[in-house]
């Protein structure tokens, strides 16, 4: 277990909800009492309250065959209908669903009626291209309205989307397309980032060249107008095709357990896992948490979650949660500091954003830039702030609350994962006394515990392993095509308790503090990366004989990728270590994607190994973080660290 404790465990600041906030808050304390009295019944009630069911369910949870759960099994619904049509039918068609802001400054306001109309046409288009219920569609798009339209159109016809983040390489995209056996890819000519157009269609072309695939068509949205290569018969322009289809489309009901999407995430091995989510339970918990954790008042709030739809946060809190709840939200295409350093704050001022949900890594970069930047903008519309992706250190929490939030509004730190589908641990604003740096308490209806390595509940304030002890509606239903890996990864360790892979402890009030991953998964800027995946990429390069990767603490990105590489004998002396290191950094970035680019690659003569040949990453982490090297007595060769240190320092 490599739990790192890098924050202030003596945190004693508490922030009471203001009486005015508490009085108007959506969440009421009886949520906790109701859920405690009858957890399963509580979720049944939420599912009925928050969603429209074409066929009401009579069974709530089936946990007779753990770890395979079903929720609301005999109920039927249409996910897109819940996100769109019913708001229009209820008379809210003129409400803005999306204030879209392109990076170059172009913008579009889209009402619920307009979004519904676009999704209906897109659903007809997918059907005309031969996509039917259960088929997989890969979506590789920038943050433009068509990304949301595509996801909802796929959901509307009961097909399954696999959204791939636009920063991933041809290799990464290819392996995801192949694993899911996608029939269709939806992409664009490109998007805008950091003031420049970047290509996407080109990456799709390169991915599809790697091998024969199941892809029949590539549907291309025009965004940048840059030139693209074209494969006749396979490639189709979105606009041309949409113009040909019917405007009307009736949303058919699908079973609650109809698969909704696959989202790939990094695990402890080199191969990303396709996390599978289904419809009814997922939608219930995303809608419930979006409403209660963010205190959403859909008639008056303007909500903004800054995550890309390529990550789970974008799925649950840009697309499904907010739209199910009929929220008005901002969708922004670009980078936070383009073309001006205060771009985000300018957007908040422009749309009078009242709820902001973002990641600690962003907050820390803004802290570095200084408060004079946000202070140039009117941020008084904000009334609630959220954080997700990694532990937020108390100093960043306080800065967020004061500099961005004006000093008195709630900040909620939300813990969850791609696998959990929706928020699991968070304060509820208006109820919970807030404590900077702690994710605090399980949401109503979710059961969390902290166990020792041998499965005993940890009492007191010692650290242990975070588990979910009871099934929850938005839980993953499996790993695409790999039921064994699903069981092995999450359920083998503690039987029918879900093992999250995070370390945690409770403080004397019982509040939960997350302590980081306990496996070989890194968290860089809130993105999950696997040490094994980056190691295999390094070893695949002709320069490399052996490689070891660690996540080292980093002031801005939380963790940073640091690699230690032994060159092949025949490569030694061919170029300088600096050149080799630069070459390898670029190689990883090309092979996996820019987010995986190592901060440093150290060329070393040896790696520290135990007598059984296992690399001792703990020692490399000490080195990468500039700490005193820990216990080296289990090393096969104790002099190794000295020779590595000579190279590194
Ligand atoms: C980490 C992102 C501490 C954690 C939603 C988890 C957090 C992994 C928090 C999941 C938080 C996420 N405090 N750690 N509030 N939120 N994490 O799948 O290690 O991209 O296991 O989902 O991020 O990352 P994922």
71 DSSP β-pair partners: 61
317 lines ligand 1 (CB under 6 A): no
Among 128, 149, 147, which residue's Cα sits nearest to residue 139? 147
E strand segments, 345-476 = 355-358, 384-388, 411-414, 448-451, 463-468
Pairwise CA distance, residues 47 & 121, whole Å: 28
390 lines ligand 1 (CB under 6 A): yes
Binding-site residues for ATP sit at 389-391, 413-418, 502, 517, 528
Interstrand relation of 273-278 and 302-305 (parallel, antiparallel or unpaired): unpaired
Give pLDDT tens digits for 294-321. 999 999 999 999 999 999 999 999 999 9
**C-alpha 247: how far from chain center:** 33
Pairwise CA distance, residues 476 & 277, whole Å: 5
Burial of 610 (0-12, 13-18, 19+ CB in 10 A): exposed
**Cβ(162)–Cβ(263) below 8 Å:** yes
416 lines ligand 1 (CB under 6 A): yes
Structural tokens at position 126: 């997918």
* Atom 6 of ligand 1: nearest residue by CA position: 417
Q: What is the pLDDT of residue 636?
A: 80
Q: What is the pLDDT of residue 220?
A: 98
Q: For 62-106, where are the alpha helices, taking DSSP H only?
A: 79-83, 85-87
**Cβ(516)–Cβ(503) below 8 Å:** yes
Binding-site residues for CoA sit at 193-196, 313, 525
| pLDDT for residue 338 is more than 50 | yes
420 lines ligand 1 (CB under 6 A): no
Compute, in degrees rounded to 10, the torsion defined by CA atoms 620, 624, 628, 631: -10
Identify the three-state secondary structure at position 147: helix
Give pLDDT tens digits for 503-532. 999 999 999 999 989 988 999 998 999 998
Largest CA distance in the chain: 74
Give pLDDT tens digits for 561-602. 999 999 999 988 899 999 999 999 999 999 999 999 999 999
Pairwise CA distance, residues 547 & 567, whole Å: 9
Pairwise CA distance, residues 139 & 450, whole Å: 37
Structural tokens at position 200: 């996407």
**Cβ(317)–Cβ(323) below 8 Å:** no
Pairwise CA distance, residues 96 & 113, whole Å: 9
Give the H or E element holding residue 292: helix 280-293
Compute, in degrees rounded to 10, the torsion defined by CA atoms 436, 438, 441, 443: 80
Taking the centre of ligand 1 as the mean of its atom positions, its distance from the CA of residue 59, in whole angstroms, is 31
Average pLDDT over the chain reads: 95
Q: What is the pLDDT of residue 133?
A: 98
| pLDDT for residue 241 is more than 90 | yes
Q: Peptide bond preceding 67: is omega within 30 degrees of 0, i.e. cis?
A: yes
What ranges do the domains of the chain cover? 19-504, 525-648
439 lines ligand 1 (CB under 6 A): yes
Structural tokens at position 274: 């396709």
| pLDDT for residue 76 is more than 60 | yes
414 lines ligand 1 (CB under 6 A): yes
E strand segments, 113-200 = 136-140, 160-163, 184-188, 190-193, 196-199
Pairwise CA distance, residues 467 & 499, whole Å: 5
Q: What is the pLDDT of residue 4?
A: 40
Give the H or E element holding residue 146: helix 145-156
| pLDDT for residue 458 is more than 60 | yes
Pairwise CA distance, residues 217 & 128, whole Å: 11
Q: What is the pLDDT of residue 34?
A: 98
| pLDDT for residue 612 is more than 80 | no
548 DSSP β-pair partners: 564
Identify the band that residue 649 occupies on the pLDDT scale cut at 50, 70 and 90: confident
ipTM of the complex: 1.00
Q: Peptide bond preceding 521: is omega within 30 degrees of 0, i.e. cis?
A: no
3-state percent helix, strand, coil for the chain, nearest multiple of 5: 30, 25, 45
Give pLDDT tens digits for 244-299. 999 999 999 999 999 999 999 988 777 899 999 999 999 999 999 999 999 999 99
Identify the three-state secondary structure at position 546: strand
Q: What is the pLDDT of residue 399?
A: 96
**Cβ(248)–Cβ(266) below 8 Å:** no
* Atom 10 of ligand 1: nearest residue by CA position: 417
Pairwise CA distance, residues 53 & 46, whole Å: 12
Structural tokens at position 94: 């003129």
| pLDDT for residue 645 is more than 80 | yes
Pairwise CA distance, residues 527 & 362, whole Å: 12
CA triplet 77, 83, 86: central angle to 5 degrees?
75
- DSSP summary character for residue 89: I
Q: Counting atoms of ligand 1 from 1, which one is nearest the CA of 265?
A: 18
Q: What is the pLDDT of residue 11?
A: 65
Correct CATH for 525-648 of 3.20.20.70, 3.30.300.30, 3.90.25.10, 3.40.190.10: 3.30.300.30
Q: Which of 505, 514, 516, 520 to mutate to test the pocket of ligand 1 (most atoms within 8 A of CB)?
A: 514
| pLDDT for residue 6 is more than 50 | no
Q: Counting atoms of ligand 1 from 1, which one is nearest the CA of 426?
A: 15
Q: What is the pLDDT of residue 10?
A: 56
| Ramachandran angles phi, psi of 84, nearest 5° | -130, -80
| pLDDT for residue 95 is more than 70 | yes
| pLDDT for residue 353 is more than 50 | yes
Give pLDDT tens digits for 203-226. 999 999 999 999 999 999 999 999
Mean pLDDT of 156-183: 97
* Atom 23 of ligand 1: nearest residue by CA position: 389
Pairwise CA distance, residues 328 & 179, whole Å: 35
Cα dihedral across residues 274, 173, 525, 540: positive or negative: positive
415 lines ligand 1 (CB under 6 A): yes
Structural tokens at position 398: 């306080």
Pairwise CA distance, residues 277 & 478, whole Å: 8
60 lines ligand 1 (CB under 6 A): no
217 DSSP β-pair partners: 184
Among 66, 110, 57, 41, which residue's Cα sits nearest to residue 254? 57
Pairwise CA distance, residues 290 & 204, whole Å: 33
**Cβ(107)–Cβ(131) below 8 Å:** no
Contacts of 421 (CB under 8 A, 6+ apart): 277, 282, 285, 286, 312, 316, 474, 475, 476
Structural tokens at position 408: 């008195």
Structural tokens at position 569: 């004998």
As a CATH number, domain 19-504 is: 3.40.50.12780
Taking the centre of ligand 1 as the mean of its atom positions, its distance from the CA of residue 326, in whole angstroms, is 26
CA triplet 161, 165, 169: central angle to 5 degrees?
115
């Amino acid at each position: 277990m490599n739990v790192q404790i890098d924050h202030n465990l003596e945190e004693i600041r508490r922030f009471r909800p203001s009486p005015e906030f508490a009085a108007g808050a959506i969440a009421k304390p009886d949520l906790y009492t109701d859920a405690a009295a009858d957890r399963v019944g509580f979720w049944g009630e939420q599912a009925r309250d928050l969603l429209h069911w074409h066929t009401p369910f009579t069974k709530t949870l089936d946990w007779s065959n753990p770890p395979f759960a079903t929720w609301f099994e005999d109920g039927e619904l249409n996910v897109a209908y819940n996100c769109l049509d019913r708001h229009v039918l209820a008379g809210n068609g003129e409400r803005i669903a999306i204030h879209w802001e392109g990076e170059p400054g172009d913008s579009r306001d889209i009402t619920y009626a307009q979004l519904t109309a676009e999704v209906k046409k897109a659903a007809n288009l997918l059907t005309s291209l031969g996509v039917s219920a259960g088929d997989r569609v890969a979506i590789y798009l920038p943050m433009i309205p068509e990304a949301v339209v595509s996801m909802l159109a796929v959901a509307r016809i009961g097909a399954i989307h696999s959204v791939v983040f636009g920063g991933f390489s041809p290799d990464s995209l290819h392996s995801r397309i192949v694993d899911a056996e996608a029939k269709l890819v939806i992409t664009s000519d490109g998007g805008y980032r950091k003031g420049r157009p970047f290509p996407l269609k080109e990456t799709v072309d390169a991915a599809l060249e790697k091998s024969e695939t199941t892809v029949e068509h590539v549907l291309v949205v025009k965004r940048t107008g840059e030139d693209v290569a074209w494969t006749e018969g396979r490639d189709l322009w979105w606009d041309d095709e949409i113009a040909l289809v019917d405007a009307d489309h009736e949303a058919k009901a699908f079973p609650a357990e109809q698969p909704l999407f696959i989202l790939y995430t990094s695990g402890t091995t080199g191969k990303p896992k396709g996390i599978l989510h289904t419809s009814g339970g997922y939608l219930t918990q995303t809608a419930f948490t979006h409403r209660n954790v963010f205190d959403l008042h859909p008639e008056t709030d303007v909500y903004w979650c800054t995550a890309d739809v390529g990550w789970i946060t974008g799925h649950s809190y840009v697309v499904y949660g907010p739209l199910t709840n009929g929220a008005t939200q901002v969708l922004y295409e670009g980078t936070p500091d383009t073309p001006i350093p205060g771009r985000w704050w300018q957007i908040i001022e422009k749309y009078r954003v009242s709820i902001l949900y973002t990641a600690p890594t962003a907050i820390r970069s803004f802290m570095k830039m200084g408060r004079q930047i946000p202070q140039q903008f009117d941020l008084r519309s904000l009334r609630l702030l959220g954080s997700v992706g990694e532990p937020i250190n108390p100093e960043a929490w306080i800065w967020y609350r004061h500099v961005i939030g004006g000093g008195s509004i709630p900040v909620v730190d939300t813990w969850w994962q791609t696998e959990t589908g929706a928020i699991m641990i968070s304060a509820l604003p208006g109820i919970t006394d807030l404590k900077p740096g702690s994710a605090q308490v399980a949401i109503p209806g979710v059961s969390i515990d902290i166990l020792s390595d041998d499965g005993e509940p940890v009492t007191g304030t010692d650290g242990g392993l975070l588990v979910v002890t009871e099934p929850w509606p938005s839980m993953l239903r499996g790993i695409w095509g790999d039921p064994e890996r699903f069981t092995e990864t999450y359920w083998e360790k503690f039987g029918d308790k879900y093992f999250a892979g995070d370390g945690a402890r409770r403080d004397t009030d019982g509040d939960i503090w997350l302590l980081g991953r306990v496996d070989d998964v890194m968290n860089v800027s809130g993105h999950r990366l696997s040490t094994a995946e980056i190691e295999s990429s390094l070893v695949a390069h002709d320069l490399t004989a052996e490689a070891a990767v660690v996540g080292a603490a980093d002031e801005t990105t939380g963790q940073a990728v640091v690699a230690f590489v032994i060159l092949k004998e025949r490569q030694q002396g061919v170029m300088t270590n600096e050149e080799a290191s630069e070459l390898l950094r670029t190689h990883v970035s090309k092979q996996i994607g820019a987010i995986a680019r190592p901060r440093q690659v150290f060329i070393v003569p040896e790696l520290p190994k135990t007598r059984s040949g296992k690399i001792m990453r703990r020692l490399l982490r000490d080195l990468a973080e500039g700490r005193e090297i820990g216990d080296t007595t289990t090393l096969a060769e104790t002099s190794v660290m000295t020779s590595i240190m000579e190279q590194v320092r």
